Amino acid sequence: MRWAVTFGAIVGALLITQSALAQNLSGSLRPEVRPRGDEVSRAASIPILVVPGPSVSRPKLRPSAVSEKAPPQVAPSAKDAGFQDWRVGLRARAQAQGIRGDVFDGAFRGVHYDPDVIKRDRNQSEFSKTIWEYLDSAASNTRVENGRAALRKHRRVLEAIEARYGVDKEVVVAVWGLESNYGTFRGQSDVIQSLATLAYDGRRGEFFEQQLIAALRILQSGDTSPREMTGSWAGAMGHTQFIPTSYLDYAVDFTGDGRRDIWSDDPTDALASTAAYLAKFGWEKGQPWGVEVKLPRNFDYALAIRTVTRTPARWARMGVVGMDGKAVSNHGQASILLPAGSQGVALMIFDNFGVIERYNAADAYVIGVGHLSDRIAGGSEFKASWPRSDRALTFAERQEMQQRLSAAGFDTQGVDGRIGPKTLEAVRGFQRAQGMTPDGYASLELLQRLR
């Protein structure tokens, strides 16, 4: 969440990690990306909201009343021995932050270093897919139909959530659909074990230790128990995949049963928590996230950047119109986004695009949520075509592109294999110098020219 709820950083408009896309409709379509800076340095928590809602007959869970099963045991290793030593220091740091010793000990009963978590973390950026391949799954006919069925099934709850938070119910359902395929793939990893492994590993240790302490706070509050706290290998939890700090800040008890329960089969609290999160970051009900548009032949592609905003009427005077040939309705200031360059779909995006982006900072994820929500509401598929003959660059090729751009005098300000704003700016500069359309599209053709 992003992305404040998930581990987000700008992946770029073109690329989505293979780890997410390798899964079919039974899996989450969240791009596994890097932590955003604002997630690490979060401001003070938002007060917890308890909103009367549909009653659910469910006793309040207390950790002491739950029969706990430890995570599956594995043969100890030298790495695990070091992990156990590290845990001693962690216990002291957790207690200094208000975590009771019995809560810590219960949470870590049977927990060990998990090398599979590290393997998955290391392999995130190696392979990639194009945005159209991502959308083929994210907004497939099956996912759309399942979303409409989920909306029908939970309409009463979703309408109550929409009335309370002012977030369109189709958008909440779309987030649910991409994060856990409407609750069917919530993740089965032991969150304490996964976060502890990532914190001990050290590469992003400070961030993951922060998440781990937050997870212990959740356990101490009694909202769930250690072994019921399951989620993704990276620590995202429940129907809509909150990470622990975001849970503490934004999760709500919509059912009124005394717990903010995002893990159980009942999705009510998770859906309300997602709406509360989006509302907190400024969701405007009725405003589209984005609208597909047509660009004029003489369009100045230097204007297709997020920092350039115009009203739809002003864009229309420049020849940028909806697919019906008319000016887009006035929903406020908007930017033009070209997720696949001049040869793909063109979008006019509004402030709500940036709100979804707080959930996950990958452009493709935002487009996936937005387009899926539109389809669930009865909208059509994108009308323009994608450059399907293109393939995504590999991680090594993206690094090579950055190196060659910088060597050619178009500084990308780093070689990290991610197509972020600085790299896109460098791509545009090179395209202008080569007489190409300066649309910022980091394609294989461009890399070949650089070679």
Question: Residues of 66-96 as b/e, b for ≥16 C-beta within 10 angstroms?
Answer: eeeeebeeeeeeebbeebeebbeebeeebee
Q: How far is CA 111 from CA 122, 157, 204, 226, 352, in A?
A: 21, 37, 20, 10, 40
Beta bridge partners of 292: 347
Question: From start to end of 113-176, where are the E strands?
Answer: 128-129
Residue-by-residue pLDDT tens, the chain, 451 positions: 433 443 333 333 333 433 333 343 345 665 543 333 333 333 222 222 222 233 222 223 333 333 345 555 555 566 778 999 999 999 999 999 999 999 999 999 999 999 999 998 887 655 578 999 999 999 999 999 999 999 999 999 999 999 999 999 999 999 999 999 999 999 999 999 999 999 998 788 999 999 999 999 999 999 999 999 999 999 999 999 999 999 999 999 999 999 999 999 999 999 999 999 999 999 999 999 999 999 999 999 999 999 999 999 999 999 999 999 999 999 999 999 999 999 999 999 999 999 999 999 899 999 999 999 999 999 999 999 999 999 999 999 999 999 999 999 999 999 999 888 899 999 999 999 999 999 999 999 999 999 9
Cα distance between residue 188 and residue 392, in whole Å: 30
In the DSSP assignment, the letter for residue 34 is P
pLDDT digits (tens, 9 = 90+) for 38-81: 333 332 222 222 222 332 222 233 333 333 455 555 555 667 78
> Kind and range of the H or E element at 356?
helix 351-357
C-alpha 187 chain-centroid distance: 15
Token readout for 347 is: 């979008």
End-to-end Cα spacing for the chain: 37
Query: Cβ distance 128 to 15 under 8 Å?
Result: yes
Q: What pTM did the predictor assign?
A: 0.83
Token readout for 177 is: 């659909």
Residue 245: φ, ψ to 5°: -65, -40
Query: Cβ distance 335 to 308 under 8 Å?
Result: yes
Cα distance between residue 391 and residue 189, in whole Å: 32
Query: Cβ distance 4 to 354 under 8 Å?
Result: no
> Kind and range of the H or E element at 17?
strand 16-17
Residue 132: φ, ψ to 5°: -70, -35
pLDDT digits (tens, 9 = 90+) for 215-258: 999 999 999 999 999 999 999 999 999 999 999 999 999 999 99
- CA-based R_g, the chain, Å: 23
